Structure 1
Amino acid sequence: MEMFKEEAFKLYFFENRLETFEGWPFDEDCSCTPEKMARAGFIHTPTENSPDVAMCFFCLKELEGWEPEDDPEKEHKTHSPSCQFISLKKKVEDLSMEEIFRLQKERNKSIIKKNCNEAMSRLEEAAKQRRGQIIKTALGEE
Protein backbone atom coordinates (compact mmCIF):
# COMPACT_ATOMS: atom_id res chain seq x y z
CA MET A 1 0.00 0.00 0.00
CA GLU A 2 1.50 3.36 -1.07
CA MET A 3 0.49 4.96 2.19
CA PHE A 4 3.21 3.10 4.05
CA LYS A 5 5.98 3.97 1.62
CA GLU A 6 8.45 6.58 2.76
CA GLU A 7 7.81 8.72 -0.32
CA ALA A 8 4.14 9.13 0.58
CA PHE A 9 5.10 10.89 3.81
CA LYS A 10 8.38 12.55 2.85
CA LEU A 11 6.92 15.95 1.99
CA TYR A 12 4.94 16.21 5.21
CA PHE A 13 8.23 17.24 6.80
CA PHE A 14 9.56 20.78 6.52
CA GLU A 15 13.18 19.80 5.85
CA ASN A 16 12.23 17.73 2.80
CA ARG A 17 10.10 20.54 1.36
CA LEU A 18 12.89 23.04 2.01
CA GLU A 19 15.34 20.92 0.01
CA THR A 20 13.24 21.51 -3.13
CA PHE A 21 13.91 25.27 -3.07
CA GLU A 22 17.35 25.14 -4.65
CA GLY A 23 17.46 27.98 -7.17
CA TRP A 24 14.46 29.79 -5.66
CA PRO A 25 14.65 33.39 -6.91
CA PHE A 26 13.86 35.08 -3.57
CA ASP A 27 16.27 35.41 -0.65
CA GLU A 28 16.45 36.53 2.98
CA ASP A 29 15.35 40.11 2.23
CA CYS A 30 11.97 38.89 0.97
CA SER A 31 8.80 37.64 2.64
CA CYS A 32 8.71 34.53 0.47
CA THR A 33 12.02 32.96 1.51
CA PRO A 34 12.51 29.25 0.95
CA GLU A 35 11.98 28.65 4.68
CA LYS A 36 8.63 30.46 4.75
CA MET A 37 7.53 28.77 1.53
CA ALA A 38 8.35 25.32 2.92
CA ARG A 39 6.60 26.10 6.24
CA ALA A 40 3.47 27.01 4.27
CA GLY A 41 3.51 23.54 2.62
CA PHE A 42 5.02 24.54 -0.70
CA ILE A 43 7.59 22.73 -2.77
CA HIS A 44 9.51 24.42 -5.58
CA THR A 45 8.40 23.14 -8.98
CA PRO A 46 10.08 25.48 -11.49
CA THR A 47 9.58 25.28 -15.21
CA GLU A 48 11.84 26.56 -17.95
CA ASN A 49 9.72 29.71 -18.33
CA SER A 50 8.64 30.15 -14.70
CA PRO A 51 11.41 29.80 -12.11
CA ASP A 52 9.09 30.79 -9.25
CA VAL A 53 6.41 28.11 -9.49
CA ALA A 54 5.59 26.59 -6.13
CA MET A 55 3.02 23.90 -5.40
CA CYS A 56 1.46 22.79 -2.15
CA PHE A 57 2.51 19.18 -1.75
CA PHE A 58 -0.83 18.47 -0.06
CA CYS A 59 -3.62 20.21 -2.02
CA LEU A 60 -1.51 20.47 -5.21
CA LYS A 61 -2.36 24.15 -5.71
CA GLU A 62 0.29 25.77 -7.90
CA LEU A 63 1.14 29.44 -7.58
CA GLU A 64 3.55 31.53 -9.62
CA GLY A 65 4.31 35.19 -10.11
CA TRP A 66 5.52 35.62 -6.56
CA GLU A 67 6.46 39.11 -5.43
CA PRO A 68 9.15 39.73 -2.76
CA GLU A 69 6.53 40.98 -0.28
CA ASP A 70 4.12 38.02 -0.70
CA ASP A 71 3.43 36.09 2.51
CA PRO A 72 3.40 32.37 1.58
CA GLU A 73 0.99 31.31 4.32
CA LYS A 74 -1.47 34.10 3.49
CA GLU A 75 -1.26 33.39 -0.25
CA HIS A 76 -1.80 29.68 0.38
CA LYS A 77 -4.88 30.31 2.54
CA THR A 78 -6.25 32.81 0.00
CA HIS A 79 -5.82 30.59 -3.05
CA SER A 80 -6.62 27.27 -1.39
CA PRO A 81 -8.81 27.92 1.68
CA SER A 82 -9.86 24.28 1.97
CA CYS A 83 -6.30 22.92 2.18
CA GLN A 84 -6.17 20.90 5.35
CA PHE A 85 -2.39 21.04 5.63
CA ILE A 86 -2.21 24.83 5.85
CA SER A 87 -5.05 24.69 8.41
CA LEU A 88 -3.23 22.30 10.74
CA LYS A 89 -3.12 23.46 14.33
CA LYS A 90 -0.28 21.08 15.28
CA LYS A 91 3.12 20.18 13.96
CA VAL A 92 3.14 17.03 11.83
CA GLU A 93 5.36 15.39 14.43
CA ASP A 94 2.61 15.85 17.06
CA LEU A 95 -0.21 14.27 15.03
CA SER A 96 -1.71 10.94 16.05
CA MET A 97 -1.72 8.06 13.59
CA GLU A 98 -5.46 8.55 13.13
CA GLU A 99 -4.92 12.21 12.24
CA ILE A 100 -2.17 11.29 9.80
CA PHE A 101 -4.40 8.70 8.13
CA ARG A 102 -7.20 11.25 7.81
CA LEU A 103 -4.81 13.78 6.34
CA GLN A 104 -3.39 11.27 3.90
CA LYS A 105 -6.91 10.34 2.81
CA GLU A 106 -7.57 14.00 1.99
CA ARG A 107 -4.25 14.28 0.19
CA ASN A 108 -5.11 11.21 -1.89
CA LYS A 109 -8.42 12.84 -2.81
CA SER A 110 -6.52 15.91 -4.04
CA ILE A 111 -4.20 13.76 -6.12
CA ILE A 112 -7.09 11.81 -7.66
CA LYS A 113 -9.04 15.01 -8.38
CA LYS A 114 -6.04 16.62 -10.09
CA ASN A 115 -5.34 13.49 -12.16
CA CYS A 116 -9.00 13.27 -13.21
CA ASN A 117 -9.13 16.95 -14.17
CA GLU A 118 -5.97 16.57 -16.26
CA ALA A 119 -7.37 13.46 -17.98
CA MET A 120 -10.66 15.27 -18.68
CA SER A 121 -8.78 18.20 -20.22
CA ARG A 122 -6.81 15.88 -22.47
CA LEU A 123 -10.01 14.06 -23.48
CA GLU A 124 -11.83 17.32 -24.21
CA GLU A 125 -8.92 18.56 -26.34
CA ALA A 126 -8.79 15.27 -28.27
CA ALA A 127 -12.57 15.40 -28.82
CA LYS A 128 -12.31 19.00 -30.06
CA GLN A 129 -9.60 18.03 -32.56
CA ARG A 130 -11.55 14.97 -33.73
CA ARG A 131 -14.71 17.04 -34.13
CA GLY A 132 -12.76 19.48 -36.32
CA GLN A 133 -11.48 16.60 -38.46
CA ILE A 134 -15.01 15.22 -38.88
CA ILE A 135 -16.35 18.62 -39.92
CA LYS A 136 -13.54 19.06 -42.45
CA THR A 137 -14.25 15.59 -43.85
CA ALA A 138 -17.99 16.29 -44.04
CA LEU A 139 -17.37 19.56 -45.89
CA GLY A 140 -14.98 17.83 -48.28
CA GLU A 141 -12.00 19.89 -47.16
CA GLU A 142 -9.68 16.92 -46.76
Structure 2
Amino acid sequence: MDPLSEEDTKMYFYENRLKTFEGWPFNEDCMCTPENMAKAGFIHTPSENSPDVAMCFFCLKELEGWEPDDDPEKEHRSHSSSCHFINLKKSVEELSVEEILKLQKEKHKFILMKSCKEALARFEEAAKQKKADIKSAMGEE
Protein backbone atom coordinates (compact mmCIF):
# COMPACT_ATOMS: atom_id res chain seq x y z
CA MET A 1 0.00 0.00 0.00
CA ASP A 2 1.52 3.28 -1.12
CA PRO A 3 0.33 5.91 1.37
CA LEU A 4 0.89 8.66 -1.16
CA SER A 5 -0.78 7.06 -4.15
CA GLU A 6 -3.57 8.89 -5.93
CA GLU A 7 -6.01 6.21 -4.81
CA ASP A 8 -5.01 6.69 -1.17
CA THR A 9 -5.19 10.49 -1.22
CA LYS A 10 -8.03 11.32 -3.63
CA MET A 11 -10.71 11.48 -0.92
CA TYR A 12 -8.97 14.45 0.69
CA PHE A 13 -10.68 16.45 -2.04
CA TYR A 14 -14.29 17.49 -1.58
CA GLU A 15 -15.31 16.83 -5.21
CA ASN A 16 -14.24 13.18 -4.96
CA ARG A 17 -16.15 12.65 -1.72
CA LEU A 18 -19.23 14.36 -3.17
CA LYS A 19 -19.25 11.97 -6.15
CA THR A 20 -19.84 9.03 -3.76
CA PHE A 21 -23.25 10.36 -2.67
CA GLU A 22 -25.21 9.12 -5.65
CA GLY A 23 -28.44 7.65 -4.31
CA TRP A 24 -28.10 9.43 -0.95
CA PRO A 25 -31.60 9.60 0.60
CA PHE A 26 -31.32 13.23 1.81
CA ASN A 27 -31.01 15.89 -0.87
CA GLU A 28 -32.95 19.03 -0.09
CA ASP A 29 -34.46 20.90 2.85
CA CYS A 30 -32.20 19.19 5.37
CA MET A 31 -28.81 19.50 7.03
CA CYS A 32 -27.32 16.22 5.81
CA THR A 33 -27.24 16.98 2.09
CA PRO A 34 -24.53 15.32 0.00
CA GLU A 35 -22.67 18.64 -0.04
CA ASN A 36 -22.63 18.96 3.76
CA MET A 37 -21.76 15.31 4.20
CA ALA A 38 -18.79 15.61 1.83
CA LYS A 39 -17.63 18.84 3.51
CA ALA A 40 -17.56 16.99 6.83
CA GLY A 41 -15.25 14.31 5.35
CA PHE A 42 -17.84 11.61 4.73
CA ILE A 43 -18.14 9.27 1.78
CA HIS A 44 -21.33 7.34 1.05
CA THR A 45 -20.89 3.61 1.73
CA PRO A 46 -24.41 2.19 1.45
CA SER A 47 -25.33 -1.42 1.99
CA GLU A 48 -28.45 -3.25 0.88
CA ASN A 49 -30.04 -2.85 4.31
CA SER A 50 -28.64 0.60 5.14
CA PRO A 51 -28.84 3.14 2.29
CA ASP A 52 -27.68 6.00 4.52
CA VAL A 53 -24.34 4.66 5.78
CA ALA A 54 -21.59 7.24 5.55
CA MET A 55 -17.97 6.80 6.60
CA CYS A 56 -15.26 9.34 7.21
CA PHE A 57 -12.61 8.66 4.60
CA PHE A 58 -9.96 9.59 7.18
CA CYS A 59 -10.88 8.10 10.58
CA LEU A 60 -13.13 5.39 9.08
CA LYS A 61 -15.96 6.17 11.52
CA GLU A 62 -19.23 4.86 10.06
CA LEU A 63 -22.54 6.49 10.91
CA GLU A 64 -26.03 5.53 9.84
CA GLY A 65 -29.58 6.35 10.81
CA TRP A 66 -29.26 9.93 9.65
CA GLU A 67 -32.14 12.32 10.30
CA PRO A 68 -32.84 15.39 8.13
CA ASP A 69 -31.82 17.76 10.96
CA ASP A 70 -28.50 16.02 11.69
CA ASP A 71 -25.52 18.33 11.12
CA PRO A 72 -22.78 16.17 9.54
CA GLU A 73 -19.90 18.19 11.00
CA LYS A 74 -21.35 18.12 14.53
CA GLU A 75 -22.14 14.41 14.26
CA HIS A 76 -18.63 13.68 13.00
CA ARG A 77 -17.01 15.66 15.84
CA SER A 78 -19.22 14.07 18.49
CA HIS A 79 -18.62 10.49 17.30
CA SER A 80 -14.94 10.83 16.40
CA SER A 81 -13.38 13.76 18.20
CA SER A 82 -9.87 12.42 17.50
CA CYS A 83 -10.31 12.64 13.71
CA HIS A 84 -7.55 14.85 12.37
CA PHE A 85 -9.46 15.67 9.19
CA ILE A 86 -12.55 17.11 10.89
CA ASN A 87 -10.23 19.09 13.19
CA LEU A 88 -8.24 20.71 10.36
CA LYS A 89 -7.95 24.46 10.78
CA LYS A 90 -7.47 25.11 7.06
CA SER A 91 -8.49 23.63 3.75
CA VAL A 92 -6.63 20.71 2.20
CA GLU A 93 -5.48 22.98 -0.63
CA GLU A 94 -3.69 25.20 1.91
CA LEU A 95 -1.73 22.36 3.54
CA SER A 96 2.01 22.03 3.07
CA VAL A 97 3.55 18.79 1.86
CA GLU A 98 4.82 18.18 5.38
CA GLU A 99 1.32 18.65 6.81
CA ILE A 100 -0.15 16.21 4.28
CA LEU A 101 2.52 13.63 5.13
CA LYS A 102 1.70 13.98 8.84
CA LEU A 103 -2.02 13.61 8.07
CA GLN A 104 -1.36 10.49 6.01
CA LYS A 105 0.59 9.01 8.91
CA GLU A 106 -2.39 9.64 11.20
CA LYS A 107 -4.83 8.26 8.63
CA HIS A 108 -2.84 5.04 8.41
CA LYS A 109 -2.95 4.70 12.18
CA PHE A 110 -6.76 4.69 11.93
CA ILE A 111 -6.59 2.08 9.14
CA LEU A 112 -4.29 -0.15 11.19
CA MET A 113 -6.41 0.21 14.33
CA LYS A 114 -9.59 -0.74 12.45
CA SER A 115 -7.84 -3.71 10.86
CA CYS A 116 -6.54 -4.90 14.24
CA LYS A 117 -9.97 -4.55 15.87
CA GLU A 118 -11.56 -6.55 13.06
CA ALA A 119 -8.88 -9.27 13.31
CA LEU A 120 -9.36 -9.50 17.09
CA ALA A 121 -13.13 -9.77 16.69
CA ARG A 122 -12.69 -12.60 14.16
CA PHE A 123 -10.26 -14.38 16.50
CA GLU A 124 -12.60 -14.02 19.49
CA GLU A 125 -15.53 -15.33 17.47
CA ALA A 126 -13.47 -18.31 16.24
CA ALA A 127 -12.30 -19.03 19.81
CA LYS A 128 -15.89 -18.89 21.09
CA GLN A 129 -16.98 -21.30 18.35
CA LYS A 130 -14.07 -23.64 19.06
CA LYS A 131 -14.94 -23.66 22.77
CA ALA A 132 -18.56 -24.49 21.95
CA ASP A 133 -17.42 -27.28 19.60
CA ILE A 134 -15.17 -28.78 22.29
CA LYS A 135 -17.92 -28.63 24.91
CA SER A 136 -20.34 -30.24 22.48
CA ALA A 137 -17.85 -33.03 21.65
CA MET A 138 -17.36 -33.69 25.36
CA GLY A 139 -21.11 -33.89 25.95
CA GLU A 140 -21.25 -30.58 27.85
CA GLU A 141 -23.92 -28.23 26.68
Same fold (TM over 0.5): yes
CA distance in structure 2 between the aligned counterparts of 1:121 and 1:140, rounded to whole angstroms: 25
Which residue of structure 1 lines up, in the alignment, with residue 32 of structure 2? 32
CA distance in structure 2 between the aligned counterparts of 1:131 and 1:140, rounded to whole angstroms: 11
CA distance in structure 2 between the aligned counterparts of 1:127 and 1:3, rounded to whole angstroms: 33
Equivalences for residues 42-57 of structure 1 within 5 A: 42-57=42-57
How big is the shift at 1:85?
0.2
CA distance in structure 1 between the aligned counterparts of 2:131 and 2:53, rounded to whole angstroms: 34
Instruction: State the secondary structure of the residue aligned to 2:3.
Output: helix
CA distance in structure 2 between the aligned counterparts of 1:121 and 1:8, rounded to whole angstroms: 26
Letter aligned with residue 37 of structure 1: M
Equivalences for residues 101-120 of structure 1 within 5 A: 101-120=101-120
Percent sequence identity over aligned pairs: 68
How big is the shift at 1:5?
1.2
CA distance in structure 1 between the aligned counterparts of 2:73 and 2:113, rounded to whole angstroms: 23
Letter aligned with residue 71 of structure 2: D
Structure 2 residue ranges without an equivalent (≥5): none
Task: Provide the TM-score with structure 2 as the length reference.
Answer: 0.97
Which residue of structure 1 lines up, in the alignment, with residue 58 of structure 2? 58
Letter aligned with residue 62 of structure 2: E
CA RMSD of aligned residues (A): 1.1
Which residue of structure 1 lines up, in the alignment, with residue 7 of structure 2? 7
User: After superposition, what is the alpha-carbon deviation per residue over 1:50-89, rounded to whole angstroms, capped at 9, x for unaligned?
Assistant: 0000000000000000000000000000000110100001
How big is the shift at 1:140?
7.0
Which residue of structure 2 lines up, in the alignment, with residue 121 of structure 1? 121
The ranges of structure 1 where at least 4 consecutive aligned residues each deviate by more than 6 angstroms after the TM superposition are: none
CA distance in structure 2 between the aligned counterparts of 1:111 and 1:5, rounded to whole angstroms: 15
Task: Provide the TM-score with structure 1 as the length reference.
Answer: 0.96
Aligned residue pairs total: 141
Instruction: State the secondary structure of the residue aligned to 1:55.
Output: strand
